[in-house]
């Protein structure tokens, strides 16, 4: 089964008005189960729009979006995906644990179950000891880890991420990339990851989807098969070859 | 230490300077009584000050609670119904710029001038505006990330209001309440200058001034200041209790 | 335009509520548990709106000037006092804010008092300033003093916030240009403070109006709208509509001052972001 299937999708903002924009033009994309796909491209190429279409935060003008075998709208109602944004978007009035519990709460899960699940997710991102803290007391990187734990809390088959590490410094970013890969491997989650960093896309992904702007469309899809995804992987010649390939695709 | 010492030094210096100016400069008490004279009056009149402060405090508290409750209901309604919000905000902003305290003599007419109702009503009306305007702003301002997130959770309108909108507006509610708590005391005290029942601090200040007992009048002003300060501090305390995630209160 | 329509709609709703209550309310008010919770609806306590309008046109006393002339004159008198107090208070507030920004020790020593003074009813001092009239200054000036000290606090606090608002990067940039404190103040801090200054000035304007009205009442200064309010309130049993004309005058004064402050802001605040300033 495929995690995400997008076919013939076009998105027009403000149709029929002077400020009409063709944000996405005739996009096809499939993400297989357990696959990690990055979307990369210049600003305005519609990569965030594409992610929001999968999340059913906006509706396509034409074409169909299928998530986990059903419509995107149904998938959203089923909480079939977890999502994380560039801003952690934590609720400052909830403790870290209660932030992670939120999606479970809205699903109607019982107190004990919520708590157990939240503890498990915080363990996964290495923040168990901060469960009782408020977000305001955490650093930016820690907040983003809480946001990832929250996205994973309902154990969704699909993870959607919109530049989640964009606001972090390089060291924190590399550590979180490694953590994210470990989490995805442990849970078997499929991931769609929007980024504007070539190295990040190459390091994380099974496939890097390159997009171009005006109108936003997919120009290339590059399969990445790194020998390993760790420190050694970051120094492997294959890694640099792929970076060059993506860079060329972005320019071409 | 660095935060406490300078204000204390300034306070003590100001008091000493004040005392010296008045005694050495032979300033007449009707212009400025000496702090020592005021202090003596505070001790002598402490019973009267407490009684008058309790009367004014009760008026301020009733008006504060009534006005706040009404403002909360009004803000909820105005955030729920778009048209109401669009109309009420500019209107409230204009009314807020008017000297609302001038309503006191009219309210004395409409109700008995021998009851506490007019003063409490003035206080309630004065309190209403800052709470309403601040809370409504808070209810309207929702982090777009939170909005998208709740949409991905397929959360309905009521869930959204309960989990996001209301807790998110709490800081704004308290911003309004902080202003309102001080305004309540000011309105309750000053409303008595406009007539009506005369059992509070405002009446004590005017009657002492009328008898040219200026140190005594200043003593009642000091009582009014203490009352205002205690209202403000209680509000700060409530704020800390209601929002444990905020570590810094006054930025 | 929308603001104007909104205010108009609010006024019409208010007028409808007033006349509606007069039509259905108990003329003697509603008493619950010995407390009158709803006002008397008789013509003595709540005159018809058209009675108030007629009263504005009728002479103040038999054969005297029409009431509206008296009210407008009183408004202008108080407007003068308010302006004097507002300008003095705003200038002192500005100077204090600059001093607090320049010297940390001044800020540490004074700011707590400035903040505390906003939480306490200092306007209660008004009857005590009355003694200055005729001795230290003319009586009208005592009212201006009261208006000034109510106006000064919001300006001092708001302006300090504004002067401290430039980012560290901006300050460091000025340092790299070897600009001194004065140049930094003029080219960076003052422009950056404008969005903070104007909300503070609006608060100060409203506070100055309250100060002037309360000040006139407690100092017994004649000729202004505050005094008129009290005089007319005393005649309420025989001439109930009169006090409402004075109240309208007070409202007019508030509008005039708020409008004037907004006009001040218009040319300077174009293309600028607006910030919310809470002075407490």
User: Does residue C272 sit within a domain?
Assistant: no
SS3 state at B155 = coil
Distance, CA of B246 to CA of A92 (rounded, Å): 9
Residues of C in contact with B87 (CB under 8 A): 6, 9-10
- Which member of C126, C136, C254 has the closest CB to residue B31? C136
Q: Specify if C162 maps to a domain.
A: yes
Residue C63: exposure state from Cβ atoms within 10 A (0-12, 13-18, ≥19):
exposed
B116 found inside a domain: yes
- The pair phi, psi for residue C203, each rounded to 5°, is -60, -45
Domain count, chain A: 2
Q: Rounded to whole angstroms, how far apart are CA atoms A13 and A53?
A: 13
Distance, CA of C11 to chain centre = 20
In a domain, B12, yes or no: no
What is the domain extent for residue C30? 1-46
Chains A and C touch (3+ CB pairs under 8 A): no
Enumerate residues 6+ apart whose C-beta is below 8 A from A54.
Answer: A4, A6, A65, A67, A72, A81, A160, A192
SS3 C240: helix
Q: Where are the alpha helices (DSSP H) in chain C?
A: 2-24, 49-57, 67-102, 104-119, 126-129, 139-163, 168-176, 181-184, 190-219, 225-234, 240-265
Chain C nearest-CA residue for B5:
C109
Query: Average pLDDT in the A127-155 region?
Result: 90
Residues of chain B found within 8 Å of residue A59, distances taken between Cβ atoms: none
Q: Are residues C122 and C158 in the same domain?
A: yes
| C90 and C9 fall within a common domain | no
| Residue C279 within any structural domain of the chain | no
Query: Residue B63 maps to which CATH number?
Result: 1.10.3720.10
Q: Are residues C40 and C129 in the same domain?
A: no
Average pLDDT, chain A: 90
Containing A89, the helix (H) or strand (E) segment is none
Q: Which chains touch A (3 or more CB pairs under 8 A)?
A: B
Among C231, C26, C60, C150, which Cα is nearest to B105's?
C231
Is residue B249 scored above 50 in pLDDT? no
Confidence of residue C273 (pLDDT cuts 50, 70, 90): low
Q: What is the pLDDT of residue C96?
A: 92
**Residue A7 is assigned to a structural domain of this protein:** yes
Cβ-based contacts of C16 with chain B (< 8 Å): none
How far apart are the CA of A76 and the nearest CA of chain B, in angstroms? 6
Shortest CA gap A89–chain B (Å)? 6
Q: Are strands C30-32 and C35-38 parallel, antiparallel or unpaired?
A: antiparallel
- Give me the residues of B, 124-153, that contact C with CB < 8 A: 134, 137
- What is the per-residue pLDDT for C278? 52
Tens-digit pLDDT profile for residues B122-172: 999 999 999 999 999 899 888 888 988 998 888 888 888 888 999 999 999
Which residues in chain A have Cβ-Cβ distances shorter than 8 Å to B173?
Answer: none
CB contact under 8 A, A106 and B164: no
Q: Are residues C13 and C58 in the same domain?
A: no
Co-location of A72 and A127 in the same domain? no
Task: Report the residue of chain B nearest C239, measured CA to CA.
Answer: B109
Average pLDDT, chain C: 81
Q: What burial class does residue A21 get, using C-beta atoms within 10 Å of its C-beta: 0-12 exposed, 13-18 middle, 19+ buried? A: middle
Residues A43, A135, single domain; the answer is: no
Tokens for C60, please give them.
Answer: 């103040």
**C189: preceding bond cis by omega (within 30 degrees):** no
Residue % of chain A over a pLDDT of 70: 100
Tell me, yes or no, whether A86 lies in a domain: no
pLDDT of residue C222: 78
Search chain B and give the residue with CA nearest C45.
Answer: B110
On the question of pLDDT at A131 being above 60, the answer is yes
pLDDT at C95 over 90: yes
Q: State the pLDDT confidence band at C275, using cuts at 50, 70 and 90.
A: low
The arithmetic mean of pLDDT across residues B190-203, rounded, is 83
- Across the range C44-54, mean pLDDT stands at 75
Quote the crossing angle between the two packed helices A96-107 and A140-152, to the nearest 10°. 20
Neighbours of C199 (CB within 10 A): 21
Residues A62 and A133 occupy one common structural domain: no
Query: Which residues of chain C neighbour B186 with C-beta distances below 8 Å?
Result: 121, 123-124
B20 is a domain residue? no
How sure is the predictor about C29, in pLDDT bands with cuts at 50, 70 and 90? low
In chain B, which residue's Cα lies nearest the Cα of C232?
A: B105
Domain identity same for C41 and C63: no
Q: Would residue C129 count as lying in a domain?
A: yes
- With beta carbons less than 8 A apart as the criterion, state whether A11 and A17 touch: no
Average pLDDT over residues A3-22: 91
Please indicate whether, in this complex, the C-beta atoms of B152 and A106 are within 8 angstroms of each other.
no
C-alpha span between C109 and C114 (Å, rounded): 10
Residue of chain C minimizing CA distance to B202: C124
- Of A155, A173, A196, the residue that ends a domain is A155
Residue C63 pLDDT class (50, 70, 90 cuts):
low
Q: Do B153 and A106 touch (CB under 8 A)?
A: yes
Which residues form the domain of A52? 2-80+156-251
Q: Rg of the Cα trace of chain C?
A: 23
With vertex at residue C111, the alpha carbon angle to CA C110 and CA C114, rounded to the nearest 5 degrees, is 90
Of C28, C120, C211, which to mutate for an interface test with B (greatest number of B Cβ within 10 Å)? C120
Contact A87 B145 (CB under 8 A): yes
Q: Which of C55, C24, C39, C19 is nearest to C247 (CA)?
A: C55
**Would the CA dihedral through A218, A222, A223, A225 be positive or negative?**
negative
Kindly state the percentage of chain A with pLDDT values over 90: 55
Residue B150 belongs to domain spanning = 46-242
> What string of H, E and C letters represents the secondary structure of A135-177?
HHHCCHHHHHHHHHHHHHCCCCCEEEEECCCCCCCHHHHHHHH
B81 Cβ neighbours under 8 A, 6+ residues apart: none
Q: Is residue A85 part of a domain?
A: no
Please check whether residues A61 and A105 belong to one and the same domain: no
Does the structure show a pLDDT above 90 at B29? no
Domain membership flag for residue A74: yes
Suggest the residue from A88, A89, A161 to mutate for an interface test with chain B (most B CBs closer than 10 A): A89
In the structure encoding, which two tokens stand for residue C275, read together?
A: 């910030």
A19 within domain boundaries:
yes
Kindly tell me if the per-residue pLDDT of B250 is higher than 50. no
Please indicate, yes or no, whether residues A104 and A202 belong to a single structural domain of this protein. no
Q: Considering only A211-215, B71-75, C231-235, which range has the smallest mean pLDDT?
A: C231-235
Give the CA angle between residues B230, B125, B176 to the nearest 5°.
55
CB contact under 8 A, B247 and A136: yes
Q: Is the pLDDT of residue C264 over 90?
A: no
pLDDT single digits (tens) A26-60: 999 999 999 999 999 998 889 999 999 999 999 99
Which of B7, B59, B109, B127 has the highest number of chain C CBs within 10 A, making it the mutation to test binding with C?
B109
DSSP string covering A18-76: TT-EEEEEEEEEEEETT-EEEEE-STTSSHHHHHHHHTTSS--SEEEEEETTEEHHHHH
Does residue B66 sit within a domain? yes
Question: In C, which residues are within 8 Å of B222 by CB distance?
Answer: none
The 10s digit of each residue's pLDDT in C109-159 is: 888 888 888 777 777 777 777 777 777 778 788 888 888 988 888 899 889
Q: What is the pLDDT of residue C271?
A: 61
Which of B145, B155, B243 comes nearest A106 by C-beta? B155
Does B48 score more than 50 pLDDT?
yes
| pLDDT for the residue numbered B247 | 64
Shared domain check, A76 and A168: yes
For chain B, the domain total comes to 1
CB contact, 8 Å: B113 with chain C? no
A86 pLDDT above the threshold of 70: yes
Predicted confidence at residue B251, as pLDDT, reads 39
Nearest CA in chain B to C30: B111
Q: What angle do CA A209, A213, A250 make, to 5 degrees?
A: 50
Residue A66 in domain:
yes
Count of the separate structural domains present in chain C: 2
What CA–CA distances, in Å, run from C40 to B106, B115, B122, C1? 12, 14, 17, 37
Contact B99 C115 (CB under 8 A): no
Kindly list the residues from chain C whose CB atom is less than 8 angstroms away from the CB atom of residue B227: 121
pLDDT, tens digit, 9 for 90 and up, residues C159-209: 998 999 888 888 888 888 888 888 889 888 988 888 888 888 988 998 899
Question: Which chain B residues are Cβ-neighbours of A67 within 8 angstroms?
Answer: none
**B183 contacts in chain C (CB < 8 Å):** none
Which CATH number fits the domain that encloses residue C71?
Answer: 1.10.3720.10
**CATH value at residue A240:** 3.40.50.300
Residues A71 and A195 in one domain: yes
* Sign for the pseudo-dihedral over CA of C160, C162, C163, C169: positive
Predicted confidence band of residue C34 (pLDDT cuts 50, 70, 90): low
Q: Which of A88-97, A195-204, C229-238 has the lowest mean pLDDT?
A: C229-238
Cα maximum dimension of chain C: 75
Cβ proximity of C19 and C49 under 8 Å:
yes
Encoded tokens for B107: 């309210």
Calpha distance A154→A76 (Å, rounded) = 12
């Amino acid at each position: 089964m495929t995690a995400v299937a997008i076919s013939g999708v076009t998105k027009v903002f403000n149709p029929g008005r002077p400020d009409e924009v063709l944000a996405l033009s005739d996009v096809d994309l499939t993400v297989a189960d357990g696959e990690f796909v990055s979307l990369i491209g210049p600003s305005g190429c519609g990569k965030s729009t594409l992610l929001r279409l999968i999340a059913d935060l906006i509706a396509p003008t034409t074409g169909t979006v299928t998530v986990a075998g059903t419509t995107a709208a149904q998938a959203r109602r089923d909480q079939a995906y977890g999502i994380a944004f560039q801003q952690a978007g934590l609720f400052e009035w909830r403790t870290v644990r209660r932030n992670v519990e939120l999606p479970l709460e809205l699903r109607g899960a019982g107190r004990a179950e919520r708590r157990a699940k939240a503890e498990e997710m915080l363990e996964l991102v290495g923040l168990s000891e901060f469960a009782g803290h408020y977000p305001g007391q955490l650093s930016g990187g820690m907040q983003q880890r809480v946001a990832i734990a929250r996205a994973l809390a309902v154990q969704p088959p699909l993870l959607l991420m919109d530049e989640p590490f964009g606001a972090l410094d390089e060291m924190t970013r590399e550590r979180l990339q490694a953590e994210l890969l470990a989490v995805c491997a442990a849970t078997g989650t499929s991931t769609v990851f929007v980024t504007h960093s070539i190295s990040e896309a190459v390091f994380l992904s099974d496939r890097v989807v390159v997009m171009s702007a005006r109108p936003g469309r997919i120009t290339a899809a590059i399969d990445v098969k790194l020998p390993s995804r760790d420190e050694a992987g970051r120094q492997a010649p294959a890694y640099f070859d792929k970076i060059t390939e993506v860079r060329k695709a972005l320019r071409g | 230490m660095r935060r406490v010492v300078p204000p204390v030094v300034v306070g003590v210096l100001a008091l000493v300077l004040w005392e010296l100016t008045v005694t050495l400069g032979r300033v007449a008490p009707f212009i400025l009584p000496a702090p020592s004279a005021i202090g003596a009056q505070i001790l002598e009149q402490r019973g009267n000050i407490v009684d008058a402060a309790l009367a004014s405090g009760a008026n301020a508290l009733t008006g504060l609670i009534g006005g706040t409750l009404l403002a909360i209901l009004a803000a909820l309604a105005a955030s729920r119904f778009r048209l109401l919000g669009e109309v009420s905000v500019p209107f409230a902003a204009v009314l807020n710029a008017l000297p609302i305290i001038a309503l006191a003599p009219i309210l004395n007419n409409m109700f008995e001038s021998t009851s506490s109702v007019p003063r409490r009503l003035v206080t309630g009306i004065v309190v209403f505006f800052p709470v309403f305007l601040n809370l409504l702003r808070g209810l309207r301002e929702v982090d777009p990330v939170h909005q998208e997130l709740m949409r991905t959770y397929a959360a309905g309108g009521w869930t959204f209001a309960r989990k996001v909108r209301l807790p998110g507006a709490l800081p704004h509610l308290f911003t309004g309440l902080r202003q309102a708590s001080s305004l309540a005391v000011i309105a309750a005290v000053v409303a008595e200058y406009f007539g009506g029942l005369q059992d509070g601090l405002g009446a004590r200040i005017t009657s002492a001034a009328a008898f040219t007992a200026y140190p005594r009048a200043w003593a009642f002003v000091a009582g009014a200041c203490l009352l205002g300060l205690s209202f403000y501090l209680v509000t700060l305390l409530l704020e800390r209790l209601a929002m444990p995630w905020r570590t810094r209160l006054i930025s | 335009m929308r603001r104007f329509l909104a205010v108009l709609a609010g006024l019409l709703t208010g007028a409808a509520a007033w006349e509606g209550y007069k039509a259905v309310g108990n003329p003697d008010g509603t008493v619950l548990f010995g407390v009158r919770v709803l006002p008397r609806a008789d013509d003595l306590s709540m005159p018809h709106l058209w009675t108030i309008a007629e009263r504005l046109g009728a002479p103040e006393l038999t054969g005297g000037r029409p009431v509206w002339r008296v009210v407008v004159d009183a408004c202008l008198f108080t407007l003068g006092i308010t302006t004097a107090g507002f300008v003095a208070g705003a200038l002192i507030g500005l100077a204090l804010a600059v001093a607090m920004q320049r010297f940390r020790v001044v800020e540490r020593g004074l700011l707590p008092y400035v903040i505390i003074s906003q939480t306490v009813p200092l306007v209660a001092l008004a009857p005590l300033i009355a003694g200055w009239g005729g001795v230290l200054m003319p009586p009208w000036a005592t009212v201006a003093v009261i208006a000034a000290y109510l106006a000064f606090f919001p300006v001092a606090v708001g302006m300090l916030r504004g002067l401290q608002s430039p980012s560290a990067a901006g300050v460091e940039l000025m340092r790299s240009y070897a600009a001194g404190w004065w140049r930094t103040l003029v080219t960076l801090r003052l422009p950056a403070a404008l969005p903070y200054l104007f909300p503070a000035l609006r608060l100060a304007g409203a506070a100055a109006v309250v100060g002037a009205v309360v000040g006139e009442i407690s100092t017994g200064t004649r000729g202004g709208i505050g005094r008129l309010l009290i005089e007319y309130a005393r005649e309420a049993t025989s001439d109930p509509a009169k006090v409402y004309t004075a109240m309208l005058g007070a409202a007019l004064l508030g509008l005039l001052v708020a409008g004037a402050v907004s006009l001040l802001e218009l040319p300077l605040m174009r293309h600028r972001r607006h910030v919310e300033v809470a002075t407490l």
